């Protein structure tokens, strides 16, 4: 009787998170069109990203409901295989062009492998999936992406630590704080507001070119605070973007790109989208270990997107939606595992 009383409440809360997701993603699409209206802007990239997140989330919910272990493991192998293939063949725009996508795909692959491990019941299978997650971190190191290796290893460690955390709300709040600190630090660097010692150390790690991109994005955001300069118009308003050997026209920071191209409302919608993912995880019927693992991976992705161009690739946004869907799916007891 108790389980029957609880189940409708869980469904109602899950419906609230789904409604919030529809409204927020719809708002992102509408605001991209509003900020592009009357300009030679190109909102197609934003619309594609919104569609990719929604499609990935829906696929994750369906696959996770029927095959929680198999679907998550397949997602991890797909991310690992896609990164390995592009690195070996040298496609997707060269090392500079694919570094952000590689790091993001490996972060999501590590998160999916850990989610599959927590969902597995057999000890041997669970151990194999932990080893798969460790292999993802090793692959990142093998292709020369030390930050991606550190992020994937961090996701693995956070997932293991999640086994000792009985309540998910505190963990998700901590992850939200980590993301906020990353965004705040990025903005402080762009505004040259950090102490000289810390600022100098960060300049050595981030490169002078990227910091100049961030500074130009902050300047454009101050000049166009409401509607921004228009989606995909950053490269036309700053010469710094063209000085790179392989220019991609991006400021290499998702929050700063939103601020420059879509103004303060664009940044607010981006933050709301991340907040919605954490809210959906908080209400998820999956175990706390799976929820916190997915949250750690999505937070690592948010940090990578704050410091790079990770969200410029549709496979990354689709993968983020897929992982969130897997971690919020209501598993059917008569489904396959």
Q: Which range, of 1-10, 42-51, 58-67, 144-153, averages the lowest pLDDT?
A: 1-10
Indicate left, alpha or beta for 92 from its phi (over 0: left) and psi (-120 to 50: alpha).
left
The pLDDT of residue 87? 72
- Residue with tokens 């396959």, as numbered in its chain: 336
Contact 168, 281 (CB under 8 A): yes
pLDDT for position 254: 95
Q: What is the mean pLDDT of the chain?
A: 88
Whole-number Å distance between alpha carbons of 257 and 100: 15
66: buried, middle or exposed (CB in 10 Å: 19+, 13-18, 0-12)?
middle
> What's residue 163's pLDDT?
87
pTM over 0.95: no
User: Using one digit for the tens of pLDDT, what is the confidence trace for 293-313?
Assistant: 999 999 999 999 999 889 989
pLDDT value at residue 1: 36
The secondary structure element, H or E, covering residue 333 is none
Choose between 286 and 101: higher pLDDT.
Answer: 286
pLDDT of 235? 83
Round the CA-based radius of gyration of the chain to a whole number and report it.
20
**Confidence (pLDDT) at 201:** 66
pLDDT in tens, 78-109: 999 988 887 766 544 444 445 788 899 999 99
Tens-place pLDDT, residues 220-241: 999 999 999 999 998 888 877 6
pLDDT for residue 172 is more than 50: yes
State the Cα angle at 316 between 323 and 212, rounded to 5°: 130
Check residue 145 and give its pLDDT. 85
| pLDDT value at 204 more than 50 | yes
When comparing pLDDT for 214 and 245, which is higher? 214
Q: Rounded to whole angstroms, how far apart are CA atoms 80 and 135?
A: 9
**pLDDT on residue 13:** 62
Q: What is the pLDDT of residue 165?
A: 87
Name the pLDDT band for 40 (thresholds 50, 70, 90): confident
Contacts 24+ apart (CB under 8 A), 75-78: 75/108, 75/109, 75/112, 75/319, 75/322, 75/323, 75/326, 76/109, 76/110, 76/112, 76/113, 76/116, 76/129, 76/132, 76/133, 76/136, 77/109, 77/132, 78/109
């Amino acid at each position: 009787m108790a389980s029957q009383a609880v189940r409708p409440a869980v469904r109602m809360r899950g419906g609230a998170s789904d409604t919030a997701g529809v409204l927020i993603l719809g708002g992102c699409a509408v605001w991209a069109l509003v900020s592009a209206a009357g300009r030679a802007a190109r909102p197609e990239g934003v619309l594609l990203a919104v569609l990719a997140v929604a499609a990935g989330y829906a696929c994750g919910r369906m696959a996770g409901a029927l095959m929680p272990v198999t679907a998550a493991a397949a997602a991890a192998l797909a991310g690992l295989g896609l990164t390995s293939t592009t690195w070996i063949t040298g496609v997707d725009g060269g090392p500079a062009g694919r570094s952000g996508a590689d790091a993001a795909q490996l972060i999501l692959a590590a998160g999916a492998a850990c989610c599959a491990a927590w969902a597995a019941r057999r000890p041997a299978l669970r151990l194999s999936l932990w080893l798969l997650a460790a292999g993802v971190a090793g692959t990142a190191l093998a292709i020369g992406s030390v930050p991606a290796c550190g992020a994937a290893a961090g996701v693995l460690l956070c997932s293991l630590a999640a086994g000792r955390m009985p309540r998910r709300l505190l963990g998700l709040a901590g992850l939200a704080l980590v993301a906020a600190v990353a965004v705040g630090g990025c903005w402080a660097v762009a505004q040259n507001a950090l102490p000289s010692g810390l600022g100098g150390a960060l300049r050595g790690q981030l490169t002078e070119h990227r910091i100049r991109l961030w500074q130009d994005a902050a300047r454009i955001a101050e000049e166009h605070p409401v509607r921004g300069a228009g989606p995909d118009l950053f490269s036309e308003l700053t010469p710094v973007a063209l000085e790179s050997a392989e220019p991609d026209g991006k400021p290499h920071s998702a929050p700063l790109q939103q601020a420059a191209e879509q103004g303060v409302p664009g940044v607010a919608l981006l933050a709301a989208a991340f907040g919605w993912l954490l809210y959906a995880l908080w209400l998820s019927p999956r175990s706390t270990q799976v929820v916190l693992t997915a949250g750690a991976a999505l937070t690592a992705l948010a940090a990578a997107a704050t410091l790079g161009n990770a969200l410029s690739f549709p496979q990354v946004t689709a993968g983020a939606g897929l992982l969130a869907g897997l971690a919020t799916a209501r598993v059917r007891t008569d489904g396959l595992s």
